[in-house]
Amino acid sequence: MTKKDRITLKAKEILGATPAGVRFSDLVARLQKEFPDDPHGTITGTVWNLDARFSQEIYKPSRGLFRLTKFKTEPSPSAPEPLPETTPEPGVIREADFYQPFADYLVNDLE
């Protein structure tokens, strides 16, 4: 069994014991404790794409969080709803108010 196989099996075991999922850095730290003789780069190189290599078993519900698909019960989080556009209060100056006048200045006034 290669180092990569040992690390992968242990990572799956850790993910299986944690239904909420494990952050990448925590997973690497746990694996480093299990295999102190293995270089850090070997561990990170093995773990970073677990969701792509084992897409039937592991997924990422959010960036940097690994989780087993058997714990996937809730629907995947959707994009947050955009905030409604508000009309500015009188006397309030917004950044966007400066764009067109500045563009006109650059085009027309500068030589």
For each of the domains in the chain, give its residue range(s) and CATH number, in order of start. 3-71 (1.10.10.10)
| Residues facing 59 on adjacent strands | 67
Answer yes or no: is pLDDT of 8 > 90.
yes
Please give the pLDDT value at position 80: 59
Q: What Cα–Cα distance (Å) separates residue 74 from each residue in 21, 49, 52, 78?
A: 13, 23, 21, 11
Token pair listed for 80: 């947050």
Phi/psi of residue 26, nearest 5 degrees: -70, -40
Express each pLDDT in 29-41 by its tens digit: 999 999 999 999 9
Express each pLDDT in 34-77 by its tens digit: 999 999 999 999 999 999 999 899 999 999 999 999 988 755 55
pTM greater than 0.85 (yes/no)? no
